[in-house]
Amino acid sequence: MKRQDIEQKTEELVSDIIESGGYILWDVEYVKEGSDYYLRVYADKDGGIMIDDCVKISRALEAKLDAEDFIEEAYILEVSSPGLTRKLKKDKDYERSIGRLVLIKLYKAQNGTKEIVGRLKEITVD
């Protein structure tokens, strides 16, 4: 199964857990680091997510993943906050970040820098 398919299926499985707990799903990623595979779920909530919230999500998701058993490789499940360095990938991520400070990393330097920090005021979707 492809990485994107694993992430999408996991997002589908965790969505009920997230919604019923009043959480916000920030991202799901399935990555290989060294010889280990990691399935990471990043969740948040108003006021910030706590370790007990992560444990609750992890246990509920683990039961669903075991029942579905669609990931062939052995993996490590991690549930955490997206942290201060959260990546903005989807339109909803940008919408949630309006009014917040963001760090933009550029591939090519502009005005002698590859990083720009600023407050996100608005987004425009074409």
The amino acid occupying position 67 is A
β partners of residue 29: 40
Using one digit for the tens of pLDDT, what is the confidence trace for 38-60? 999 999 988 888 999 999 999 99
In this model, does residue 2 exceed pLDDT 80? yes
Q: C-alpha angle 14/19/21, rounded to 5°?
A: 95
In this model, does residue 118 exceed pLDDT 80? yes
Q: What is the pLDDT of residue 36?
A: 96
The whole-angstrom separation of Cα 17 and Cα 56 is 9
SS (H, E, C) 11-72: HHHHHHHHHHCCCEEEEEEEEEECCEEEEEEEEECCCCCCHHHHHHHHHHHHHHHHHHCCCC
In this model, does residue 10 exceed pLDDT 90? yes
